[in-house]
Amino acid sequence: MTEGLSTGVAAEVERLTTELAALGEGSVRIGRPTDREGGPREFDILGGRGFISFLPVPRHECVYVCDITFYG
């Protein structure tokens, strides 16, 4: 999934997803959309130079990264 991304960007995505997974139930309220909880979410990375699309699964204490967009 991180093919073509710099090592720094891949490391930042990994760091963020680890923190999101550690939030447990709170991960369903992070990022967009802001008007509802759960389901697929988006979160800006590296000061708005990209975003990750992810699906939090608090019951399993994990986050599935669906897509990484980086504008570099």
pLDDT tens digits, one per residue of 28-45: 999 999 999 989 999 999
In a domain, 48, yes or no: yes
- DSSP SS3 for 63: strand
Cβ-contact 15, 26 below 8 angstroms: no
- With a cut of 80, say whether residue 1 has pLDDT above it: no
CA 20 to chain centroid, in Å, comes to 7
Structural domain including 28 reads: 7-70
In a domain, 2, yes or no: no
Tokens describing residue 7: 């090592």
pTM for the predicted model, two decimal places: 0.87
Q: How many structural domains are present in the chain?
A: 1
Per-residue CA distances from 63 to 53, 55, 72 (Å): 10, 6, 24
Residue 53 exposure: Cα atoms within 13 Å on the Cβ side: 7
pLDDT tens digits, one per residue of 12-71: 999 999 999 889 899 999 999 999 998 999 999 999 999 999 999 988 888 999 999 999
What single letter denotes the amino acid at residue 28? V
In a domain, 28, yes or no: yes
In a domain, 1, yes or no: no
